[in-house]
């Protein structure tokens, strides 16, 4: 079992999920968010190839374009 922190909320995963699978499982639309894994932005191209690890801190947030 893997414990992660998604937007500061602890979550347990039964099996290692890719970042992309994690977002899909959470019903988060991938077209409007960016993702920070352990304080580093992960480009969207790599979401499908990176697996969540125990104690990962993942922040998902929407793009803000206003000014």
Partner 1 sequence: MITTQEQAQSLADKDFIRYSRQIFLPEVGEAGQLQLKQAHVLIVGLGGLGQLAAQYLACAGVGRLTLVDGDRVELSNLPRQLLFSDDDIGHHKTHIAKQKLAVLAQGCEIDAFAEHLTIESANAVFSNLLAHGKEARLVLDCTDNLMARHCINRLSVEHALPLVSASIAAFNGQLFAVDQQRFPLGGCYHCIFPSDTRAPQNCTSQGVLGPSVGVMASMQALLAMQLLLLATPPTSATEQTVNQSFEETCQPIASTRSLLGRFWRFNAKSLQWHSAALTRDPDCEVCGLKPSALMQSTTAVSFKSVPNRGLL
Residues engaged in binding partner 1 (CB under 8 A) = 29, 31-32, 34, 36, 39-46, 59, 61-67
Nearest distance from C-beta of residue 13 to partner 1, angstroms: 22
Tokens of 64: 């803000």
- Which of 34/51 has CB closer to partner 1? 34
H helices present in 1-67, as ranges: 19-25
Q: What is the torsional sign of CA 42, 61, 38, 2?
A: negative
Kindly state the smallest distance separating residue 37's Cβ from partner 1, in Å. 9
CB of 1 vs partner 1, minimal distance in Å: 27
Q: How far apart are CA 2 and CA 25, in angstroms?
A: 15
């Amino acid at each position: 079992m893997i414990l992660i922190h998604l937007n500061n909320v602890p979550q347990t995963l039964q099996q290692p999920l890719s970042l992309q699978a994690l977002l899909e499982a959470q019903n988060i639309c991938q077209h409007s968010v960016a993702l920070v894994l352990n304080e580093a932005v992960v480009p969207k191209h790599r979401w499908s190839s990176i697996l969540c690890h125990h104690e990962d801190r993942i922040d998902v947030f929407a793009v803000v374009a206003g000014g």
